Structure 1
Amino acid sequence: MTVNTVKISAEMAEAALRTAWPQARVIAEPEPLTGGQWATMARLQVRGTPPGVPGEQVLRITPKAAMGAKEVAVQDQMAAAGVATPAIRLTGPAGEPLGRAWTVMDFVTGAPLLAGLDGLGMVRRLPHLALRLPAQLAETMAAVHRVDPQPVVASVRRACPSVAFTIDDLLPHLTAAATASHRPALIDAATAVAASRPDQSGSVVCHGDLHPLNLIDSAGGLVVLDWTGAVLAPPAYDLAATWLLLRHPALPVPATLRPAIAAAARGVARAFIRRYRAACPGADLGSFGWYAGLHALRILADLAVWQRAGDPRAGQYPGRLLAPAATSLLARATGIPIRSG
């Protein structure tokens, strides 16, 4: 496997582990793990771990040390608060032996809720999705939102004080991305979004990207992965992100299947919101539409910047399949007509 052409070998992984575990031995070549759009991950088979540390670990290498530090800070605090998430065992800075900042955490045996799903598979699993998925996502999200945010915020600020961790931190980045797109309507929409920011009271720690592929169905229950997108925000921020992915699943499907999938997606998305309201009846979701527009802006700005630069990420980004829906949501949130593409 590679990180920007740097091959990650068993010897390199072993050298990283031995910075803290002198007896560690990686007994097979690292097995690449897919699913992450940002970090590079590999499954390690390790002998000589400390007592109580499983021999199966995940090595996660992050391209941006500060973002990796934020993820570690949030994940550690969530695990301490009782949220089911992999235990982090080691961290290391950029430099030798891996080149970039890295983390080692327990490997979770199981599969994502929608592993291997395609358009036809979704149609076949419609009854299962309608019955279980909304509750699984809503109850997991509610458990995350119940965690006291203060220790999490304090840990993040100690580990990486310059990293964006609130809506006010994020808005300048989104405005800058829209400006870099050189698309006037997108720039105007970003300005309108920033100018209409809702009140941030009642903020909780939001996962930011809680979709079925970030939930592992393990023998012990559901386990939450990937805290890279975590922010401090009102619950509607998290709900809007998950709702968008449920309501408009980023699946390339034949035209004949689209009506059935669209109908199922509407039902699953509605049920998810209903289940969350039941789990957190006091949550203020009044600004849901604004947060949906915020997520739409992020999708469209990233895609536009990559397209303008000829960046290959534009063709690989799952959000490209959400562009039509994002265009409509952003126009609805701002009143500014947006053209996709």
Structure 2
Amino acid sequence: MRPGRLIGRGKEAEVFEAGEDVLKLYRAGVGQPVVEREAGILARLADLPLPAPQLRGVVEIDGRWGLVMSRAVGQPLAADLRDDTIEAIAQGTAMLHGRIHAQPGTGLESYKARLTAAIGQAEGLEAVEQAGLMQRLAALPDGDRLCHGDFHPANIIGSLEHPVIVDWPDARSGPPAADVGRSYLLLLHNLPAMAEPYLAGYEQHWGLPRAAVLDWLPVLAAARLAENVPAEAERLLALARSGL
């Protein structure tokens, strides 16, 4: 098959039209195991009551690996963020996130293991700081819930009434507090006006105490450093070191 019109571009992949479906084509150098892993996650999601894309198959095109998936209709919720919509979108996002966490993470890799590996690769931290943050992480509670790993309004397509949750390669099994903390951290840096309403909405609807989420922020910030996002580096370093 040949890619159709380009409709989205991210750090690791591009998304193209593929008839009534879409083709997520990873950039050159991303190996087959990465794509097969995401395919396995989507296959597991097919058995769960969640609005996620349906996997059509794994392909290789000109040395690049990709996934063909059902196409989500509409625009990301992030495209509709305005002063008069932030509260509703924050509340709806929190509700949708809790629906993910209500599902088991059976068969998925550990969220804490992912964070441990990322902290070991974090740019800007000394080895002793990495060790201290890993000790902090080890002391935090584990869990066995389905966690998206990169949940924010840009990964929710459509409306709050009819959403489709996309971009699942970071899904893991773990504690909801870590996954909520990851979303809160991303919002703080990228959509700050939504961060507090989202966190308050999750606490209100799902009963997860704010303090339980904030306990995760230093290790989540350290792990985020491994993703090489220069615009966030200074704030992430400060937040990571606040946990030492």
Where on the TM-score scale, by shorter chain, does this alignment land: which range? 0.7 to 0.9
Q: Which residue does the alignment assign to 2:145?
A: 204
TM-score (norm 1): 0.63
Q: How many residues align?
A: 240
Which of 5, 12, 15 pairs up with 1:41? 15
Taking the aligned partners of 2:215 and 2:36, their CA distance within structure 1 comes to 29
For residues 41-190 of structure 1, what are the structure 2 equivalents within 5 Å? 41-45=15-19, 56-62=20-26, 63-92=30-59, 97-115=61-79, 125-129=82-86, 131-150=87-106, 153=107, 156=108, 165-175=110-120, 177-178=121-122, 181=123, 183=124, 185-190=125-130
Q: 1:58·1:107 contact (CA, 8 Å) conserved in 2?
A: yes
The structure-2 alpha-carbon separation of the partners of 1:57 and 1:146, relative to structure 1 and needing over 3 Å to count, comes to same
Structure 2 residue 189 is matched with structure 1 residue 279: no
Q: Please report the TM-score for the alignment, with normalisation by the length of structure 2.
A: 0.86
Q: 1:295 aligns with which of 220, 223, 238?
A: 220
1:7-46 residue pairs with structure 2 within 5 A?
A: 12-13=1-2, 30-45=4-19
- Whether contact under 8 Å (1:78, 1:147) holds in the other structure is no
Contact map agreement 1:35 1:213 (CA 8 A) in 2? no
- Return the letter of the residue paired with 2:240: L
Q: Over aligned residues, Cα RMSD in angstroms?
A: 2.5
Contact 1:145 1:206 in 2 (8 A): yes
Q: How does 1:213-252 map to 2 (within 5 A)?
A: 213-218=154-159, 221-249=162-190
State how far apart, in whole Å, the 2-side matches of 1:35 and 1:241 are.
22
Partner of 1:51: none
Q: Structure 2 counterpart of 1:274, which letter?
A: A
Q: Residue 239 of structure 2 aligns with which residue?
A: 329
CA pair 218-107 structure 1, distance change in 2 beyond 3 A: farther
Alpha-carbon distance in structure 1 between the residues aligned to 2:133 and 2:214: 11
Instruction: Return the alpha-carbon distance in structure 2 between the equivalents of residues 64 and 292 of structure 1.
Output: 31
Q: 1:66–1:284: structure 2 CA closer, same or farther, 3 Å change rule?
A: farther
Q: In structure 2, what is the Cα distance between the partners aligned to 1:286 and 1:108? A: 35
- 1:269 aligned residue: 195
- 1:40-91 deviation digits (Å, cap 9, x = unpaired): 321122xxxxxxxxxx111122323222222222222223211101111112
Quote the Cα distance in structure 1 between the aligned partners of 2:218 and 2:77.
Answer: 26
Query: CA offset at residue 99 of structure 1?
Result: 1.9
Give the C-alpha shift of residue 302 in structure 1. 3.6
> Alpha-carbon deviations, 1:204-228, whole Å to 9, x = none?
1110111111011259611100001
Q: Distance in 2 between matches of 1:275 and 1:190?
A: 32
CA pair 107-169 structure 1, distance change in 2 beyond 3 A: closer
What is the DSSP-based 3-state SS (H/G/I as helix, E as strand, rest coil) of the residue aligned with 1:229?
coil
Whole-Å Cα distance in 2 between the matches of residues 146 and 204 of structure 1? 7
Whole-Å separation in 1 of the counterparts to 2:132 and 2:96: 32
Which consecutive residues of structure 2, in runs of 5 or more, have no partner in the other structure? none
Larger radius of gyration: 1
Unaligned runs of 5+ in 1: 1-11, 14-28, 46-55, 157-163, 251-261, 304-318, 335-341
Report the Cα distance in structure 1 between the residues aligned to 2:217 and 2:42, rounded to whole angstroms.
25
Task: Give distance in 2, aligned partners of 1:186 and 1:134.
Answer: 36
Q: Using CA pairs under 8 Å that are at least 6 residues apart, name the structure with larger relative contact order, 1 or 2.
A: 2
